[in-house]
Chain A
Amino acid sequence: MSATPPRKWKFSRRKLLIGLGVTGGALAVGLPLSLPFARLKIAGMLDSASAPAGTMPKDPFVWFEVTPQNRVRLYLPKAEMGQGVHTALAQIAAEELRPAWEQLEVLNASTARGFDMGTMSVGGSVVVSSLYNPLRAAGAALRLMLQEEGARQLGVAPEKLTVAGGVVAATADPSQALTFGQIVSAKQGAWVASKQEPQLREPAQFEFIGKPMPRVDFAAKITGAAQYGFDMRLPNMAYGAVARAPRMGAKLLSAAPGTARSQPGVVAVVATTEFAGVAAETRAQAIAALDALQLEWSEGDVVEQADMEALVTVQPGAGTVLQSAGSVAAPLAAANALRAEYRTPFAAHAQLEPQAALAHVLPDKVLVWCSTQSPGSLRADVAKAVGRKAAEVEVTATYLGGSFGRKLNVDVALDAARLSAAALRPVAVSYTRAEEFQHGFFRPPTQHVLQGALDGAGRIVAMSHAQASGNVFPALVGRLLGADFGAYRGGLLRYNIPNRQVTSQPVALPVPTGFWRGLGLLANVFAVESFMDELALSAGVDALQFRLQHLPQDKLGERFKAVLLAAAERAGWGTALPAGRARGLACSWDAGTVVAQVAEVSVQGARVQVQRFTSAVDCGVLVNPDIAAAQTEGAIMMGLSSTLLEEITFSGGQAQATNFDRYPLLRLADAPLVETVFLQGDDVPHGMGEPPLGPVAAAVANAVFALTGQRLRRLPLKLA
């Protein structure tokens, strides 16, 4: 069970390594990435024990490795946090390389392999779409090299060979064949890239892409062998605990070890005004010794719930204009114009594996294992925390026990590194559930003012969406287009409305807020698509027809139309339901993916029960339909949990929840029957991890209105 430190990166003889460098890659944040071209870099067959200077690619993105034992290893710099990304990327890579599925191994890359900061991050549902073409090109280039070398070894012209299942064989005589491993074993001299332009397969020929290949990480996960950041162990390791502020914004004014050093099991104490913590032989001893530190905290911010809501309130005329067409002022001033306000609360990520890291600070290097979404930026942060060069720090992203944005920012690794530097031993630090709730960051609360005006024919002539949201790591990522990264997701008005305006007002809060699955997506679509139903009601038009009437006359409009009709048909929209049930509809666009959903609900007392939930999803090319279905199901459940249950509130400067007793999550009994239809309205893959979360709350709220007549404009939904 103990983690052996990753071996120094070196190449054994007769092993073909190929790295794919991608230029133009940037921090993945849910915007279309531009990846102008993929550069192939070949480390080649190296005879020396370690890589000669100058041959290592500077910015490899993905490594392929073909070993003499006939294994094909794929080192992916993208963390597997449950979303199936390792399997999906392996399918894309395998499509052009053409190994046998069984000979593929997927491994997590570490920062020591040269992966650049930023490119390792996962988030914004863009991993698969951004890597789709580059990975295929790299796989094809590697296959051509193996094919040409196989041709030389077999004495057959390359064009008379067929590559399939990890075997290069003469097309006319399949008994003349070599496995990839055999070709690599027998290779003499240096590998060079083929001069041929690789031909990529047409979709009709796909062998792996589009197939429900089983997850590559489940064998380890099913048996309990998979290692997450919380599970990493090294010989002689100690456990760390960190002093936490008694309320938001409180800072250490003074810090001294007190009697902490003489407490049972304590091996190191760090007490500075920047950081105070203890490392001890056991987890319990470390936590107990915190009480012996002499700490003086500043007052901090006495955050109260009502103050937060007052802060996050749309101010007329303020904010950044994100979308504008025509002029909304005059039509929205009309007497019959509608206006409604919506609000969503702070929420926790509540991923079941709390923040966790193991660090070993050594004289010449710093090793870190962490459940992190962004090992590249973590490396720089660790280096800074312990005063070392980034090049000396190696971060390995382990499996993540859920993240949903929480593990984009993992201070726990800095805690572990600081304590390891003091203890001169490996130190593991992990959050308790109470620390997760009280000392992490939250999904920002939002408030929305929607206005709309109809003409005499029931068409929307003007609509506006003014949004206020707690800001998102302003110091970390800065702002884009005047709005926080992601806070506006799902907030634009994609309907064909002549006069429309969307504004966004980021608000600084005394509470740390940041990324959360889809970020503004759930909140914005809740407001916009609930309001669409309010307008449809005012126009006296069926909610489906009303949306169809307002779709733009373009490709996006066609994709929306297709998912709306498909979801409606599958859900039986417009057909009779048993008494006590009603349906609601909503749709959204995010990360290139178009989603329409229908919720079917019932009510028992004050409780909303979602009985059935139907989705139609157009995410373009489906790399793995089973993983896409799983992502959709998961997004729906997480969305329903937010819609019906979740809310973080503050009192006296602290979140009131310290565990799930005050922050319950959706349970199996609350889970509806789910049904998902996939449509392909585009020829590249689009996002899957977050987009299906978009319409969930709106679809349920619209169904609750249809059933009860109560228009609930606040999450979580609470019946009067």
Chain B
Amino acid sequence: MQLNINGEIFAVADGDGLRPLLWVLRDELGLTGTKYGCGAGICGSCTVHLDGVAARSCLTPLAQAAKAAIRTIEGLAQMQPDGSVRLHAVQQAFTEEQVPQCSWCMSGQMMTCAAFLEQNPAASEAQLLDAMQNNYCRCGCYARIRKGVLRAAQLAAQPAGTT
């Protein structure tokens, strides 16, 4: 079976098509930036994009994921032609606002925010915060997550090259 992850094609064993995407990413492909937190779709730590939409990889069967373009935290920043890395607006914003603490949940937080902003560039502040409701942060970074996602929306709204 082939998977399109972050624009690259990865081959994985066919095997059980129901096995969760999360463990295929982490254990079979070594993409450990996507985190396990609950395995039940509650905490949001495992959030990835399927065709640009945020999805809980712990509940996504491999066979379903194989039909979509998959994006993980490892593919959020863009490698530039000169070899430098250009952070996504969300990563830039979370760095500026010094959002994380332990950061185990942050891949999921950033992927949730990035998908929402890309799908809803004109979203209101309330809509954006609402999109972040189902991601737990046990370190309690919520005050900064709020600042971080609002800053990300600002950065995302700026034309490329001005940041």
Binding site for B on A (CB under 8 A): 1-2, 81-84, 214-215, 217-219, 221-228, 230-231, 233, 239, 282-284, 350-354, 399-404, 430, 432-433, 626, 630, 633-638, 641, 659-661, 665-669, 671, 673-674
Contact with A along B44-62 (1 / 0, CB 8 A): 0100000000000000000
Contact A400 B40 (CB under 8 A): no
B94-102, B116-124, B153-161 - interface stretch: B94-102
Sample 20 A-B pairs with CB under 8 A, ordered by A number: A82-B100, A83-B101, A224-B73, A224-B107, A230-B36, A283-B27, A284-B16, A352-B37, A352-B104, A353-B37, A401-B35, A433-B37, A633-B142, A634-B101, A635-B140, A636-B140, A660-B40, A661-B40, A668-B135, A668-B145
Do A82 and B101 touch across chains, with their CB atoms under 8 A apart? yes
Please tell me if the beta carbons of A402 and B138 are within 8 angstroms of each other in the complex. yes
7 nearest CB pairs, A to B? A224-B33, A637-B140, A82-B102, A401-B104, A224-B73, A82-B101, A671-B142
Indicate whether A353 sits within 8 Å of B30 (C-beta atoms), given known contacts A218-B95, A634-B140, A661-B40. Answer: no
A214 & B138 in contact (Cβ 8 Å cutoff): no
The 8 A CB mask of B1-22 against A (1 = contact, 0 = none) is 0000000000000001001000
> How far is B107's CA from A401's CA once the two chains are assembled, in angstroms?
12
Quick one: which of B81-131 are within 8 Å of A by CB?
A: 85, 87, 91, 94-95, 98, 100-107, 110, 129
Give the residues in chain A near B31, CB-CB below 8 Å. Answer: 1, 224
Distance between Cα atoms of A633 and B100 in the complex (Å): 12
Task: Tell me the minimal C-beta distance from A348 to chain B in angstroms.
Answer: 10
Report chain B residues within 8 Å CB of A641.
140
Most buried by B among A222, A230, A638: A222
Query: Is B102's CB under 8 angstroms from A659's CB?
Result: no
Asked whether A668 lies within 8 Å of B104 as measured between CB atoms, the reply is no
* A223 with B144: CB separation less than 8 A: no
Q: Which residue of B lies closest to A640 (CB)?
A: B140
Query: What are the residues of chain A within 8 A of B143 when measuring CB–CB?
Result: 633, 637, 671, 673-674
Residues on B with beta carbons closer than 8 Å to the beta carbon of A222: 87, 91, 94-95, 100, 103, 106, 110
A350 with B32: in contact, given A634-B101, A659-B38, A660-B38 (CB under 8 Å)?
no
CB-defined contacts of B139 to chain A, threshold 8 Å: 82, 402, 634, 637-638
Contacts of B32 in A (CB 8 A): 1, 224, 227, 230-231, 233
Taken together as a complex, chains A and B put the C-alpha atoms of A359 and B54 apart, in Å, by 34
B28 to chain A, nearest CB (A): 8
Partner of B43, one of A227, A228, A660, A673: A660
B87 surroundings in chain A (CB, below 8 A): 222-223
Complex Cα–Cα for A37 and B84 (A): 46
- Residues of chain A within 8 A of B68, CB atoms compared: none
* A225-B33, A230-B36, A352-B104 given; A668·B129 CB < 8 A: yes
Task: Tell whether, in the assembled complex, residue A218 and residue B45 are in contact, meaning their CB atoms are under 8 Å apart.
Answer: no
Which bucket holds chain B's interface residue count? 35 or more
Among the listed A223, A634, A635, A636, which residue makes an inter-chain contact with B73, where contact means beta carbons less than 8 Å apart? A223
Residue pair B27, A282 in contact (C-beta under 8 Å): yes
Q: Is B132 an interface position by the 8 A CB rule?
A: yes
Contacts of A399 in B (CB 8 A): 102-103
Check if A224 sits within 8 Å of B72, measured CB to CB.
yes
Q: B residues within 8 A CB of A225?
A: 33, 74
Whether A353 contacts B35 by the Cβ 8 Å rule is yes
Q: Which A residues are in CB contact (< 8 Å) with B27?
A: 239, 282-283
Residues of B within 8 A of A352 (CB): 35, 37, 43, 45, 102, 104-105, 136-138
Main SS of the interface on chain A?
A: loop
Kindly state the separation between the CA atoms of A433 and B107 in the bound complex, as whole angstroms: 18
With the chains together, A310 CA to B41 CA distance in Å?
Answer: 36
Query: Nearest chain-B residue to A356 (Cβ)?
Result: B36
| Minimum CB distance partner of B96 in chain A | A214
Q: How far is the CA of A106 from the CA of B10 in the complex (A)?
A: 34
From the candidates A217, A630, A659, name the one contacting B141 in the complex (CB within 8 A).
A630
Quick one: given A224-B107, A637-B140, A669-B133, are A660 and B42 in contact (CB under 8 Å)?
yes
Q: Which residue of A lies closest to B87 (CB)?
A: A222
Cβ–Cβ < 8 Å partners of A219 in chain B: 95
Q: Is the CB of A223 within 8 A of B140?
A: no
Partner of B102, one of A81, A223, A660: A81
Residue of A nearest to B100 (CB): A221
Which B-chain residue is minimally distant from A639 (CB atoms)? B140
Complex contact B144–A633 (CB within 8 A): yes
- Structural contact, A214 and B35, CB atoms closer than 8 A: no
Instruction: List chain A residues, Cβ under 8 A from B94.
Output: 222
**Is B146 an interface position by the 8 A CB rule?**
yes
Residues of B within 8 A of A665 (CB): 136, 138
Q: Which of A221, A230, A282 has the most CB of B within 10 A?
A: A221
Q: How far is the CA of A696 from the CA of B91 in the complex (A)?
A: 31
Least CB distance from B64 to A in Å reads 17
Q: Which of B19, B34, B91 is the one whose CB lies under 8 Å from A223?
A: B91
Chain B residue at smallest Cβ distance from A401: B104
B76 within 8 A of A: yes
Complex Cα gap A131–B37 (Å):
33
Residues in chain B near residue A217, CB distance under 8 A: 103
* A223/B77 contact (C-beta < 8 A), A284-B19, A633-B140, A668-B146 known: yes
Of A402, A430, A432, A668, which is within 8 A of B133 by CB? A668
- A402 and B103 CA atoms in complex are apart in Å by 8
Contact partners of B129 in chain A: CB under 8 A: 668-669
Among candidates B35, B40, B100, B145, residue contacting A659 with C-beta atoms closer than 8 Å? B40
A661 to B38 CA separation, bound complex (whole angstroms): 10
Q: Which residues of A contact B135 (CB under 8 A)?
A: 668
Q: Which residues on A sit within 8 Å (CB–CB) of B19?
A: 284
Q: Which residues of the other chain, B, contact A667 by a CB distance below 8 angstroms?
A: 133-134, 136, 142
Name which residue of chain B comes closest to A354, CB basis.
B36
> In the complex, what residue of chain A is closest to B13 when comparing beta carbons?
A282
Q: Shortest CB–CB separation between residue A237 and chain B, in angstroms? A: 9
Give Cα A126–Cα B88 distance, bound, in whole angstroms.
37
Instruction: Report chain A residues within 8 Å CB of B132.
Output: 668
Bound-complex Cα distance A430 to B37 (A)? 11
A403 CB to closest chain B CB (Å) equals 8
Residue of B whose beta carbon sits closest to that of A219 = B95
Selected from B23, B100, B105, the residue in CB contact (under 8 A) with A284 is B23
Contact between B23 and A350, CB atoms less than 8 A apart: no
Nearest A residue to B141 via CB reads A634
- Given the known interface contacts A223-B33, A230-B35, A230-B36, the answer about A351 and B133 at a Cβ–Cβ threshold of 8 Å is no
B30–A233 contact, CB under 8 A?
yes
